[in-house]
Amino acid sequence: MTPHRLGARAPVRLPVRPRPEPNELLSSWLFRLAQANTQKLHSLSRTLFGDRQIWNRDIDRLAGPEVLAALEGATGIRATDLRVHTLPSFEGRVYDRHNANGITAWILPLGIYHRTHRRHGLQYCPACLKERPAFLTLWRLSLSVVCPLHGCDLHEACPACGAPVIPFRVDAAAHLSKSLPTYSPHTCCFQCGFALDRAPVTAADPALVAWQRTVHEAIIGSGMMTVRGVGAVPLLEYLSVARLWLTLLTFGRRAERLRELVDVPVKLTTGARGRSLDHLDVQTRRVAVLAFVTLLEGWPERMVDWSRAARIRRSTLLQDMAEPPGWYLDALRPLEYVNPRRALTFTLSDLAALEALAHAGDRRSLILLAYHEGESLRAIARTYGGTTSGIRKTVTLFVAGSPRRIKAGTERPDGDL
């Protein structure tokens, strides 16, 4: 087969056309497609895509219509069906908008440098790889930390040499190392050849496994999650709250106070490979998710207790949320700041005297009436001028007297008596 221009139909369909496994990554299926047709991955890529370089970028994140159209022509599998095996298919389910030119929430970055990866952005379950040699789309999500099918921890690197998982590099290294066969399976480490399906299988926390199963089912199917005391909520709303709390549990001084309240088997430490949740290693994310699961088990009372104990302000619990879910705002209601307002108590005749002065245009009387009716100091300052400290002093001095002692006249700009 000869190379052709990207986007044009392949002159001859591939003789062997295996279908992608359920939830398999496009890159993983491409490797199996090359193997099935006894070709090296890069040779097949040149046949399908011409001179365009696709392996020096994140093809699972950036595969566009032209790439999918070329694959449809070569395999007969519709481009719309192939798009399900790319990361943009999570748009509207896991996050609002896919960012093709930058960081997308919940997507693990690969840290691509030429044709290698500097970050551990592809996770795997050894038991799953042993059953079928396919890397899954869900393994590219930072919220995935355990395998709900086998109840074990996910890996993010080769256990023998610590190298990141780069399946296509196995094919590229085949002709460079005599220790690797010509068609080495892509479930091996590209650096040392270790079979990743032989990595240790470590049992995960049952509560974590149950949570992971529920989240994966919501992503693939229902799109809904259940919150204690609330009921079913949209997955996008649920994940926006989850991301905020997972971030609090992994960064900053507030995280230290929170972690002291959570009984977890491993000490949680921030990762050195980045500054966001998606840059943390899988061990750190696993402990953070377990802490979040513990929080959910006592929702919303436990959330309120932890926030008060860690001295976290309500504004912090709403940061970076353009439209906080209603059920989340209801849970935060006990944390609303209550201003210890100085009470204004007087008789009906006193109130009548104050209202008379206000009606005559006395600014201080207008301020006192507004305060008495519950307006905030800032709102009063905006309406009648002055400063909040001046208004507070006006109230303090008024409490010691009565409306009859207030005389209309010239006032200082800050509203003091």
Task: Examine the pLDDT at 257 and tell me if it is beyond 90.
Answer: no
Q: How far is residue 232's CA from residue 54's CA, in Å, rounded to a whole number?
A: 41
Looking at residue 391, its pLDDT comes to 86
Terminal-to-terminal C-alpha distance of the chain: 92
Tokens describing residue 234: 């949209």
**Nearest-angstrom CA–CA distance, 368 and 295:** 44
The vertex-70 CA angle with 13 and 40, nearest 5°, equals 70
Phi-psi region of 405 (alpha: psi -120 to 50; beta: other; left: phi over 0): alpha
Chain-centroid distance of CA 417 in Å reads 52
Kindly provide the b/e burial profile for residues 185-223, where b requires at least 16 CB atoms within 10 angstroms of the residue's own CB.
bbbbbbbebbbbbebebeebbeebbebbeebbebbeeee
3-class secondary-structure state, position 152: strand
What is the reported pLDDT for 346?
Answer: 64
Per-residue pLDDT, 177 = 41
Task: Name the more confident of 396 and 137.
Answer: 137
Which two three-digit tokens encode residue 84? 């399900």
pLDDT at 349: 76
Across residues 345-364, what is the average pLDDT? 82
Which tens digits make up the pLDDT trace of 107-122?
999 987 777 788 899 9
Task: Round to whole Å and give the CA distance between 229 and 247.
Answer: 24
Would you state the pLDDT for residue 325?
96
What pLDDT score does 324 carry? 94
Q: What is the per-residue pLDDT for 243?
A: 96
Q: Can you read off the two tokens belonging to residue 209? A: 């496994």
Model confidence at 413: pLDDT above 50: no
Instruction: Give the Cα separation of 407 and 403 in Å (integer).
Output: 8
- Nearest-angstrom CA–CA distance, 406 and 393: 14
Place of tokens 């005391």: 229
- At residue 410, the pLDDT reads 36
- Amino acid (1-letter code) at residue 146: V
φ/ψ of 38, rounded to 5, equals: 50, 45
Helix (H) or strand (E) holding 217: helix 206-217
Among 7-21, 129-143, 284-298, 400-414, where is mean pLDDT lowest?
Answer: 400-414
Tokens of 235: 């997955």
Given this model, what pLDDT does residue 261 score? 77
pLDDT-derived band at 253, boundaries 50, 70, 90: low
Q: Residue 355: what pLDDT?
A: 86
Token pair 């209601």 in the structure block, residue: 333
Dihedral class, residue 202 (left if φ above 0, else alpha if ψ from -120 to 50, else beta):
beta
**pLDDT exceeds 70 at position 163:** yes
Give the whole-number percent of the chain exceeding pLDDT 70: 83
DSSP string covering 137-149, please?
GGGGBTT--EETT
Please count the other Cβ atoms lying within 10 Å of the Cβ belonging to residue 243.
Answer: 21
Tens of pLDDT, residue by residue over 219-249, are 999 999 999 999 999 999 999 999 999 998 8
Of 411, 319, 311, 314, residue with least CA distance to 368:
411
**Where would I find the H helices in 336-376?**
348-359, 363-372
Q: Which of 253-262, 270-279, 311-320, 380-389 has the lowest mean pLDDT?
A: 270-279
Q: What is the largest CA-CA distance in the chain?
A: 101
Sign of CA dihedral 135, 136, 141, 142: negative
- State the average pLDDT for the chain: 84
pLDDT at res. 272: 44
Q: pLDDT class for 365, splitting at 50, 70, 90?
A: confident
Residue 208 to residue 391: CA distance in whole angstroms: 53
Please classify residue 315 by burial: count the beta carbons closer than 10 Å to its beta carbon, then call 0-12 exposed, 13-18 middle and 19+ buried. exposed
**From CA 96, how far away is CA 105, in angstroms rounded?**
9
Domain boundaries in the chain?
Answer: 26-198, 224-335, 348-405
More confident residue, 192 or 351: 192
Q: What's the pLDDT score for residue 176?
A: 40
